[in-house]
Structures are given as structure tokens and as C-alpha cells.
Amino acid sequence: NAGVTQTPKFQVLKTGQSMTLQCAQDMNHNSMYWYRQDPGMGLRLIYYSASEGTTDKGEVPNGYNVSRLNKREFSLRLESAAPSQTSVYFCASSAVGETQYFGPGTRLLVL
């Protein structure tokens, strides 16, 4: 039982490049989330998926797209990376209305 896994662990991009961050959970959770963490600002919600087939914007969705591929997997895509998207990205999952469990994070640097 791995919990929430994220790939890659680290990534360096040049401005304008695209990439997809992958997230998978093996806890049979309905809900999945993407957060970004910046120094001194806690974690801010980018997008979430309450259940398979649905996605909703969070606090900071601009510049990102998501896909809930199936119940296990929820990906985050940066179509044209900008230096402002340098951050640590966390995926989380939960049963409806219950505790969120976080993955280990993806550290992204955009030059």
C-alpha cells in the first residue's frame, strides 16, 4: 500500500516548455487534489476532483490544466511554464469529507 505517489520528484524547465505532473493513489479515494507550496504561503489549492469525471478550480488555477484519468490517477499539466510556477507541487487524496493524505511532492524550477 503505497498511499499517494507523485512523479517526477524534481524537474527543471525552461520558460515556455510544457510538462505533466503525475499523481496516483491506491486507497480507493473518490477525491483528489493538487496544491502548490511557496515559501511563507502555506499550501494553495490549484484544482480538485471530487469524483471520477469531475474537476473544479481552486484558489490558483491560472496556467494549469488537470485530467482525472480514472479513480486512481489525477494529472496536472503546465502548457507553457513561467518562472512564477516555480514551486513545490503536492497531490492529495481523500474519501468524501474525510482526511486528506498527501504525496511526497514534485519540486519544479522554471528558468
Q: Work out how close the CB of 101 gets to another protein at its nearest, in angstroms, rounded to a whole number.
A: 7
90 binds another protein (CB under 8 A): yes
Give the integer Cα–Cα distance in Å for 30 and 35: 17
Q: Binding string to another protein for residues 30 to 49, with x set by CB under 8 A, is what?
A: -x-x-x----xxxxxx--x-
The phi-psi region of residue 69 (left if phi > 0; otherwise alpha if psi is between -120 and 50; otherwise beta) is alpha
Q: Does residue 84 sit in helix, strand or coil?
A: helix
Eight-state DSSP code of residue 52: T
Eight-state DSSP code of residue 27: S
Stretch that binds another protein, among 13-21, 67-75, 79-87, 100-108 (CB under 8 A): 100-108
Stretch that binds another protein, among 15-23, 61-69, 74-82, 90-98 (CB under 8 A): 90-98
22 binds another protein (CB under 8 A): no
Are the CB atoms for 50 and 90 separated by under 8 Å? no
Q: Which residues contact another protein (rule: CB under 8 A)?
A: 4, 31, 33, 35, 40-45, 48, 50, 58-59, 90, 96-97, 99-105
